[in-house]
Amino acid sequence: GAVAWRARPRRRRRRQQVGTVAQLWVYPIKSCKGVPVPEAEATALGLRVGHLCDRFWLVINEDDNMVTARQEPRMVLISASCDDDTLTLSAAFTKDLLLPIRTPATNPVRTCRVHGLEVQGRDCGEEAAQWITSFLQSKPYRLVHFEPHMRPRSSRQVRDAFGPSDQVAYSDASPFLVLSEASLADLNSRLEKAVKATNFRPNIVISGCGVYAEDSWDELLIGDVRLRRVMACSRCVLTTVDPDTGVMDRKEPLETLRSYRLCDPSEQKLYGQLPLFGQYFTLQNPGTVRVGDAVYLLGH
């Protein structure tokens, strides 16, 4: 008979469990409300659940510049959900707006700017524009959608630390933000009024690890998904917007973070004077992540 021949298995890299996935969050519209999900697909451009991709919709002003909760704190009260082929926009005391998840091809494609970089988006139409403008009681805003054939932005053009192939649609710089429950608890122990994970808009929240353990995780394995750490996330005034009320405090938790989370002087060129909280990761290997999954640190 034939000899059973098996290639020598590739030496598996050392792996050590460092925590567990406690929460997964997708933010379909940049700066709007997050959607907690039990599982998600990790793609190169971020987490995806069905038709909802992380930050694939964007609110823009009349100059086609992005609008975020820095200018319009009440954006965090707008939620987007998806059912079959329908995208539903909802907010308190406002009638829901139903939109096709696939924006009609007859709608114009706009060239928008996100942190100064140009990126396309297909206009979601007049009704969406009116709905958002009326809820925010603002000057005219529009909603655009990033489509698979459009060219993503280069992360490296936002922050030097990223690799040449790292890309994002409308996220600031990175497709994944990882935060631990321990770091949040440590921050809350220093605050008079506790804040939530959603103040920081993480994608993956991890439990069962030490305070700021995520700062030293260079490569993670969750299921089949491999993630590589690039840099810390430097925090701005957006973190002071209460995710439940849409009111911007302007002070906390930012001032407290500044008191103990500024970068090492050697890294000032990278981070400046902003405090660090949470870590940016990029995708090495795609797959599905689920709440409850073990999180492993890969060693060499």
Amino acid at 202: P
Predicted local confidence at residue 300, as pLDDT: 72
With tokens 């993670």, the residue in question is 220
So what's the pLDDT on residue 9? 64
Taking the chain (300 residues) in consecutive chunks of 10 residues, what is each chunk's mean pLDDT?
Answer: 63 90 98 98 98 97 98 98 95 96 96 97 98 97 97 96 97 98 98 98 98 98 98 97 97 98 94 96 98 94
Which range marks the domain in which residue 229 is found?
15-298
Count of CA atoms in the C-beta half-sphere (13 A) of 28: 22
What local confidence, expressed as pLDDT, does residue 1 receive?
57
For the record, the structure tokens of 8 come out as 């020598």
Do 28 and 57 meet the contact criterion of CB atoms below 8 Å apart? yes
Token look-up 């020598």 returns 8
CATH number at residue 261: 2.40.33.20
Q: What is the pLDDT of residue 157?
A: 96
The rounded distance, in Å, linking the Cα atoms of 88 and 107 is: 18
2 part of a folded domain: no
Residue 5 lies in a domain: no
Residue 210 lies in a domain: yes
d(CA 272, CA 234): 9
Helices (H), 31-178: 126-136
Is 7 contained in some domain? no
- 111 assigned to some structural domain: yes
**The total number of structural domains that make up the chain:** 1
